[in-house]
A and B are shown apart, each in its own frame.
Chain A
């Protein structure tokens, strides 16, 4: 059957159905089904979130000061960003202000997780969609060295370095135990890099694996550990002691600050000398692979983040831009209000939940959901052995969030498009420089590669902003301000009987919001609308397809049995399924009977 969606995509489900489940190199569980036509071009795409944990049910009745710890466990990859969103929501509800140092430290932590997430995403979750590991065995180490030195001053680039690495790889492959590289798509014609570029990329895959752990030392210093560092309603838990007894071995001393500074500098170096040159070099071989744009050219959303000063969440104070673009109109970046019940709503007509009236969407402060797992009449297989879902019915554990009724893409590309459209030089100029270097028009932003490149540029932005806030923190301490927490309203006795608030961040994967209601000092309702809900969500009431689905449309697949192109575009969003699937029942009661298998 051929249909055209309101957001302009022509769907045809008559061709061969291809299922990719599990989608690997992501966080959590995702299934994708597509139909390809006789030329193996994708003509229908269906994204199914395949897990549900119910964290918001669990949050009900808890102490709001504890909420960050629960919410942080939504995701251990972008670890920290949910906690920050949560403490902001509680502070908004209870009207708690935080010290300037706490704002700087929170920004440094949020930016550190952006950098870490982007680097790990590119090298370990995404690169193997572009890089053929086995091809690197036939590279000429000398030519590889020349290639590396032509694009970067990174010191690990000698012919000997690449010769040694290649010898190790050869022996690894000859051992016959390929481990994580086993049974992949090596040799597929979709891989376009010459062997030398592949060898360089594999070297950096391994270097990045060893380097990424350094970035999270920033979290260990301020938050005590990573993954899942500690946060605090009212500020940050790490006190500053520069001059006094007990500074050595304390939370923040001059020695600790120097360690933070060193890690920030290493992150800047790695991003500028390895990550960005690699992305541009790889992109230069895929310039004609212009697929995967999806919704990015028509509808993108960002809540904005990184407040310059503490306690001011207005557009003008956010260094990462806020706004919405719809209808592809880049001349009009619209304001976004997370409190307006008409703007952000979630629908469930294609999700495994029940509303009393499924023709409407609900704002998160009034959000309800009740699981309702059922397959449509045209699904293939059984309830516990799904061969194909029926996308005309319910087909995902993810809801469909909409902004003023529009399906939206969120994430680094959305942020860069909004920054570009606003004319913000910090976003526009690096994007234009990258396009110039690759000799590509601005339309090239609206592609899978555009998404991947925006993430790399953002990593550089974030690393430099980390240093900016580090310097700001040090300057503030120099001026005699060492406050890190405001405990005036720590005691629940000081809270109003009823309160509601919203907290937001721009997580690595995009716009993230938590909405909280507090009654008598306990959480009454807690709702999260998270980036991968926006991106991976299913069709909505009007038939609009979501961002993943839209991005897969019209992509040619070289070999339908080897889903390299599908992975490439899905991975460009950096899917996080644990984030996207954790909605709540309004009454928090047990939701189904237990059957022990």
Chain B
């Protein structure tokens, strides 16, 4: 009988009282009501530590790096107490055959009970040999480990959307994992990288409640990706008042005015940067003076240049225009341009990706 998380931390000398405090902090950090702390405690007292296998395809390791930045929970607590990180290319002590043996062991011992976390994506060109693991294409390892997983997490924009190596012309045919794993629930956690506490929060949620978090129609957890950066941006009042930085290091930028005219993608980017913020909550791109580049949105690399006022977008009629032109055509004011853009993005997404438009709640929202 495997030990539970509760057994383990009690063994490690954590008091019942500290444990309950941890549970209520977890509830708070997940944005849950206080009474949920009891449910978290119950879950941790009764469930064995869940094995997690973390695979790396074509990527840059920024997701692993972000993960270890987590302040709550601390990543040392995550890997020693919350779950059992049985395979992690970046952190594991074993290498070569001893590492590969662990994958087989997990498939055998924990079939149907482990979480597969994927950083990066498989290339399909050249028989998959643009990414070789153990002499074989990475995609074989990915499919092998997906088969026995109870759920799959797509870490970051590589696994979720393809990210930089899939930007045009995508020379290796780098492919997001949902296109090659079709029979498992996939939780997409996009971002380049995702915020550390979003990553540990998703894991904590899954382990605590033993279910996958509610997802939007693109497969992202609602709790972290349900709103645009712009919706909760602390500079939003400047946008509403028409106060903009016009150039880097100008008077407006020093006063903390809105960065929309310097290309900020906040109005079209769904992520938690303006709420949870980064690196212990101390800042996020806009606070530090640079617009959002939209790194959690699909195809953001091909939606540049980043300093053009919003992106060039396809209008419903097929003509390409930028947000200024749309704005001029509409009412000539910035707010309308962004509203139009948000609507167009949703339409474009619906058309391109053959997915339904976002829920009426999000598409109907305008920014002014």
Contact = CB atoms under 8 A, between A and B. Distances in A.
Interface of A: 19-29, 31, 50-55, 57-58, 62-63, 65-66, 69-70, 73-77, 79, 120, 124-125, 128, 133, 164, 167-168, 171-172, 174-177, 179-185, 206, 209-210, 212-213, 216-217, 219-230, 232, 234-235, 237-241, 244-246, 249-251, 259, 371, 373, 381, 383-387, 397, 482-485, 487, 490, 561-563, 567, 578, 585, 588-597
Given A230-B290, A384-B127, A177 B49 contact: yes
A544 B312 CA distance: 50
23 contacts: A21-B96, A23-B96, A24-B89, A24-B95, A25-B95, A29-B56, A53-B165, A58-B167, A66-B306, A70-B301, A128-B93, A172-B12, A183-B94, A183-B105, A209-B68, A217-B280, A224-B290, A228-B192, A371-B171, A373-B129, A384-B127, A588-B169, A592-B125
Given A76-B65, A595-B125, A22 B95 contact: yes
Nearest to A375: B129
B68 A251 contact: no
B36 to A, nearest CB: 26
Nearest to B273: A225
Nearest to B300: A69
Most buried by B among A28, A57, A224, A240: A224
Given A66-B304, A230-B290, A578-B60, A249 B256 contact: yes
B122 to A, nearest CB: 9
B361 interface: no
A224 B284 contact: yes
B223 interface: no
A250 B255 contact: yes
B161 to A, nearest CB: 13
A139 B65 CA distance: 31
B91 interface: yes
Interface residues of B, number: 109
A20 B86 CA distance: 19
User: Is chain B's interface secondary structure helix, strand, loop, or mixed overall?
Assistant: loop
Given A51-B132, A52-B130, A73-B164, A597 B124 contact: yes
Given A179-B84, A184-B94, A226 B278 contact: yes
Contacts of A239: 248-249, 253-254, 289
A563 to B, nearest CB: 6
Most buried by A among B80, B96, B273, B305: B96
B278 A21 contact: no
A596 B58 contact: no
User: 7 smallest A-B Cβ distances: which pairs?
Assistant: A76-B62, A224-B285, A184-B93, A224-B288, A246-B255, A54-B171, A230-B290
B267 interface: no
Interface stretch (B70-78, B203-211, B348-356): B70-78
A177 B84 contact: yes
B318 interface: no
B63 interface: yes
B289 A251 contact: yes
A387 to B, nearest CB: 6
Contacts of B129: 373, 383-384
B331 interface: no
Contacts of A77: 60-62, 65
Given A177-B3, A234-B248, A237-B248, A22 B134 contact: yes
B93 A180 contact: yes
B66 to A, nearest CB: 5
Interface string B121-148: 0011111111111111111000000000
B279 interface: yes
Contacts of B49: 175, 177
Most buried by B among A31, A125, A176, A209: A209
Most buried by A among B56, B80, B129, B289: B289
Contacts of A217: 279-280, 282
A213 B96 contact: no
A57 B282 contact: no
A164 B14 CA distance: 11
A454 to B, nearest CB: 23
Contacts of A585: 171
Contacts of B51: 177
A224 B287 contact: yes
A74 B60 contact: yes
A216 B278 CA distance: 10
Contact of A594 (B69, B173, B273, B288): B173
A345 to B, nearest CB: 23
Contact of B132 (A50, A175, A224, A561): A50
Contacts of A216: 69, 279
Contacts of A180: 79, 85, 88, 91-93
B59 interface: yes
Contacts of B123: 52-53
Given A21-B134, A221-B288, A224-B287, A209 B93 contact: no
Most buried by A among B56, B192, B248, B287: B248
Contacts of B305: 62-63, 65-66
A210 B89 CA distance: 20
Contact of A206 (B76, B101, B254): B76
Contacts of A133: 93
Contacts of A588: 169
Contacts of B279: 213, 216-217, 219-220, 225-226
B169 A20 contact: no
Contacts of B301: 58, 70
A28 B63 CA distance: 12
A224 B254 contact: no
B197 to A, nearest CB: 11
B263 to A, nearest CB: 10
B283 interface: yes
A235 B249 contact: yes
Contact of B282 (A184, A220, A234, A244): A220
Given A69-B306, A595-B127, A22 B60 contact: no
A225 B284 contact: yes
A223 B249 CA distance: 14
B93 A213 contact: no
B133 A227 contact: no
A164 B12 CA distance: 8
B60 A75 contact: yes
Nearest to A206: B76
Contact of A66 (B132, B288, B290, B307): B307
Contacts of B172: 52-54, 591
Interface string B219-246: 0000000000000001000000000000
B217 to A, nearest CB: 24
Nearest to A21: B134
Interface string B150-173: 000000000000011101111111
B95 A20 contact: yes
